[in-house]
Amino acid sequence: MGRPAPIPLLLLLTLLANAAAKPSPSSFTPADNYLINCGSPDSTTLLDDGRTFKSDPQSSSYLSTDEDILASLPNISSPSLYATARIFHHLSMYRFLIAKPGLHWIRLHFYPLPHPTYNLTSATFTVTTDDTVLLHGFSAATPKPTIKEYLINATSDKLTLKFSPMKNSVAFVNAIELVSSPDDLIPDNAAAVSPPGEFSGVNKHSLEVSYRLNVGGPIVTPKNDTLSRTWLPSDAYLAFPEGARNVSVPTDTITYPKGGATPLTAPYSVYATADQMADSSTADPNFNLTWKMSVDPSFSYLIRLHFCDIVSKGLNELYFNVYINGISGAANLDLSALTSGLAIPYYKDFVLNASAITNGSVVVQVGPTSNVISALPNAILNGLEVMKMSNSAGSLDGLFSADGKKHGQSSAMRVAAGVGLALGALVSLLLLFASIRWCRKPRGYEKQKTFSSWLLPLNSSQCSFMSSKSKSTTFSTISGGLNQLGRFFSLNELKEATKNFDEKSVVGVGGFGKVYLGEIDGGATKLAIKRGNPSSAQGINEFQTEIQLLSKLRHRHLVSLIGYCDEQSEMILVYEYMSNGPLRDHLYGSSELPPLTWRQRLEVCIGAAKGLHYLHTGSTQGIIHRDVKTTNILLDENLLAKVSDFGLSKVGPSSLDQTHVSTAVKGSFGYLDPEYFRRQQLTEKSDVYSFGVVLFEVLCARAALDPALPREQVNLAEWAKQQHARGATEKIVDPVIAGTIGKDSLIKYVETAEKCLAEYGVDRPPMGNVLWNLEYALQLQGVAEGGGGDGGEKKTGGSGEGEMVVGMMSDDSGVVGASPVFLESCHAR
């Protein structure tokens, strides 16, 4: 076989010339590159990042205005885009010639400089392009630079940027960037989150950059980004930062794939850093790393997630799930399989519909996959971009289109607005009537027992102007609420009871304020006195919740509300005092207390389960506690368990066709239901999960989370389940009681606790079933002790039958609820 024919010299030179002319993937030369330092007296301004901005006098062909109003800061030594500004008293425009239609960046810089005539901090104006509203009624009131960044599709050879002051105001701008973007930076298709599927037509929308985060790394400035973007650190948006750990590798470790992400997608420094699960959480496959960002809920959003596996040692070690606002975006994601290697960048785009945005936030979560066996549960994220998508009016700020017409308001909405105005007028009249009544109140009125609005908020059925109830009916409803709250304490009484709220009397502190131990009746009666902090929004909310709930609840295993005080704007609630304190102190929180026996622990759990079961079933809608933990289970002098602290509680679904309550995630780390954490959908099964953690805490006498332990033992729930699966349950039992537990009792107890910790709420038992199984575990313990079903040891917790009641009735009334669970429990005995 002969030698291959030589390549002709001309062809070789052509190939070399083409190779030299072709830009590298990490470089980009924009066809359009307008950088304007508005109002600058210098013809050019060279920034530290290497970019050169021109002034508008030199670029006057762009500017269409009959005004020349400037603002400036004197004595600025270093080049800056915020040393000058151009002010517009009337509609003014910048017109740009577009060399290459397509995607373009628009960055607007605002900083309200001082001016002898115009107050720029109060300037209000609108900014539009030919067909897109960028800002409507915008005001740059903050005394720091503001950058608004957009990605728009220029479809012709001209682009106009209009600044329109609102009436009796001005507009201004410090700097403008209009720069071509790579055509393939934003693909036209993305994964739709809700409803799931494929979203086509992304490029029909203009985009506003809401967030661009370098997850796990420092700020990336325009100098280090080919497209002059800024990537901010993500720490400020990370929920539960103790569950995350930064990881980084040298940038030369990163290898971009062919036909995928490029340095234009995100720079090396973004893919070389990440957040992964910290040692305190890597053993928990139900935990997710979570970033929460506030957004305008009336718009849809394009969300781009950047990934690069810089944590694995080999292929197919890392599997994790992605959730957007609690909805699965990707399951069992294996980056090494998608990129055929490690340290290779990958990104994925999602479109989140406005209807799926709850609580005004975009929530991005990554968490380990539980159904795939890997080295250790883990999940990572390297970068995150959230971009607002223009609406049907072509606006990124409101319902007005670029031609000034308002879109999206139907006749029905106009009727609703009219009704709203009418109701508003009616409310104003009622407030006027109330103020007249207040001015004519009888002498001594202020000395009567009153209850401030924070203490007893009315619902719609209690408002006379929203129903056919008379005024007298309304006031009788309020009086009824007061009666249910029990005794009125004067402020002087409570000061005397607590020695003028002496700090030595403090027995607890929370978001609401402090809890004091008080004594009345000559020291014969002890009280827990919760004094709210009026400046704490959390405290006020928790007080309202406790009042609304505890005024309606009476049960042997719920801490009782005795009375209140609202004198002199105080927010004080008075409860029965639980002398033996929280359950946790009897497990591992205090060396001074004797350890509880196994029987005592079972009875305490049964009592707490009865209290929770009553919360879930004792009213029409049911109540979800939302913060079940061992510090919220209190013990009286007889070790009778009572559930306390209802400040985070929520009323359950309002109808049978509803399965959950959508709400922001609140609770205590280590006890949170993972499904609630992911989806922000609260159910009674969320309490069941938390109670499952409590059950293992009682068995093992250790904290739900303990970072000081080896990594696989940090999370109690996961460690206990792993040990049980290995047949090593006895190894996790508290050594103090290890030799006293009957085998069958332990099996039934652990089986019950494990069912409570099922990953999905539908697989967890209701609290009634949990209660029945705990009662059964107690009977089995009695058999093991040789004393029959009731055991051979006197009960100390007092968890007798017949305590479940319906509605408002106290369990002390002797009425026995006809729940099959309880009847079965009674017959078993």
Active site residues: 627
CA angle 684, 624, 694 (to 5 degrees): 75
* Separation of alpha carbons 373 and 356, rounded Å: 32
- Return all residues near 815 (Cβ < 8 A) that are at least 6 apart: 805, 806, 809
Cα distances (Å, whole numbers) of residue 531 to 140, 277, 302, 363, 645 = 41, 39, 46, 35, 14
For residue 594, cis peptide bond before it (omega within 30 degrees of 0): no
* Separation of alpha carbons 170 and 121, rounded Å: 10
* C-alpha torsion sign, points 353, 356, 362, 366: negative
> What is the greatest pairwise CA distance in the chain?
120
Q: What is the dihedral of CA 678, 679, 685, 691, to 10 degrees?
A: 30
* Separation of alpha carbons 701 and 447, rounded Å: 51
**Cβ–Cβ < 8 Å for 555, 613:** no
* Separation of alpha carbons 438 and 431, rounded Å: 10
Give the chain's radius of gyration (CA, Å): 33
Q: Parallel, antiparallel, or unpaired: how do β-strands 561-565 and 572-576 relate? A: antiparallel
Residue 243 is encoded by which pair of tokens?
């569950």
CA angle 805, 810, 815 (to 5 degrees): 50
**What's 589's DSSP letter?**
I
Q: Parallel, antiparallel, or unpaired: how do β-strands 346-352 and 189-192 relate? A: parallel
Report whether 530 belongs to an annotated binding site.
yes
16 CB neighbour count, 10 Å cutoff: 10
**What's 377's DSSP letter?**
-
Residue 696 is encoded by which pair of tokens?
């293992």
* Separation of alpha carbons 331 and 368, rounded Å: 9
CA angle 788, 790, 794 (to 5 degrees): 120
* Separation of alpha carbons 636 and 627, rounded Å: 20
**What percent of the chain is helix, strand and coil (3-state, nearest 5)?**
30, 25, 45
* Separation of alpha carbons 114 and 109, rounded Å: 16
Q: How many residues does the chain have?
A: 829
Cα distances (Å, whole numbers) of residue 643 to 354, 609, 633, 636, 821 = 39, 9, 5, 11, 20
* Separation of alpha carbons 187 and 203, rounded Å: 7
Annotated binding-site residues for ATP read 530
